[in-house]
Amino acid sequence: MTASIPDLLLDWYDRNARDLPWRVAPGAPIPEDPEWPYRVWLSEVMLQQTTVAAVKPYFAKFLDLWPSVHDLAAAPEDDVMAAWAGLGYYSRARNLVKCARAVAERGGFPDTEAELRKLPGLGDYTAAAIAAIAFGRRAVVVDANVERVVARLFAIAEPLPGARKAIRAAAGTITPDERAGDFAQGMMDLGSHVCTTRAPRCLLCPLAGVCEGRRQGAPERLPVKPAKKPVPERVGTAFWITRKQGREVWLVTRPGAGMLGGMRALPDDGWSARADGSGTPPLAGAWRSCGAVRHGFTHAHLTLEVRALETLRAPPGEGTWWPVARLGEAGLATLFAKAARVALAAAG
């Protein structure tokens, strides 16, 4: 069964590969550009739990601001976090800076999967992807898309996450020694556009003839996922504190650890540390309600009330008065950008 799979997949990839700014053409040699591993690494970190469409403009922006890993390593972390704002999963941005500095210190990216795994923020998948795509090493690359393709191809019916060991082992049996990077990207593309979660397009799949899940008649049931747990609800309050007739707003920087760590934000009541916030404002005064925003995290749904106050003095603690006219440059996390829009709309 397995002997023809790499040939079938690579032939399909040669004809159907997506044109992406962090890829070379199928079958093309690995670029001799010393920054090629940097671009592969940057794209792989950005693509974690994020769509290609969302990543493209951020990828271009980062390369424009920091063309090399040494440029990124020298950048202030606040600038990197601000440039990342809106892409979500902000721990990736913090790890991006740590990893860039580690790579710059050692003089470049290592070219083996084992050494790549030693870098900050690089797990098994990212290390394998960089080894295969950036350096042409044989590495077993398994992301969510590949996981789905392999579970169906081999009809692995054990529920996740327990099935991941068997899925990885099966993926290892079909990963070729040559063109491992193209094979990995071809499997990703196949899972993204053909072997989809719902209604897989089996008639278009180059592996349909050797797919055990299809032979059994219900490939869409694989991989078997555990029952979803109810997503908890949280509530909290964000505070829109202005001065000079609303021309400046008080912004804080969230602690490096924890939710939205290291990002600029509006002050809040500590909702991220509890099931619900206290609602206690940082200053006494005639607060007014501006409305609320809803936001989904992977672990909870949040309803955040937005309250506003015009004041003559700064709240306690560290922060900065930021020009409202330049709020787009602050790099607010998406949640607080939503809250700011609500406050500005209420102010008229």
Write down the pLDDT at residue 3. Answer: 52
d(CA 116, CA 44) in angstroms, rounded, equals 13
Which is the catalytic residue, given 44, 113, 147, 305?
A: 44
Amino acid (one-letter) located at 186: G
Q: What is the percent of the chain with per-residue pLDDT over 90, rounded to a whole number?
A: 75
Q: CATH for 233-347, among 1.10.530.10, 3.40.50.970, 3.90.79.10, 1.10.150.530?
A: 3.90.79.10
Q: Which of 261, 236, 243, 240 is nearest to 251 (CA)?
A: 240
**pLDDT band for position 333 (50/70/90)?**
confident
Spatial contact of 77 and 97, defined as CB atoms under 8 Å apart: yes
178 is known as an active-site residue: no
CATH number for region 5-221: 1.10.340.30
- Is the pLDDT reported for residue 23 higher than 50? yes
Write down the pLDDT at residue 145. Answer: 95
Spatial contact of 86 and 337, defined as CB atoms under 8 Å apart: yes
Average pLDDT over residues 321-341: 91
Max CA-CA distance within the chain?
Answer: 74
- Is the pLDDT reported for residue 204 higher than 90? yes
Q: What is the pLDDT of residues 34-50, one digit of tens each?
A: 999 999 999 999 999 88
> Where do the domains of the chain lie?
5-221, 233-347
- Tell me phi and psi for residue 335, to 5 degrees: -55, -50
Average pLDDT over residues 1-22: 89
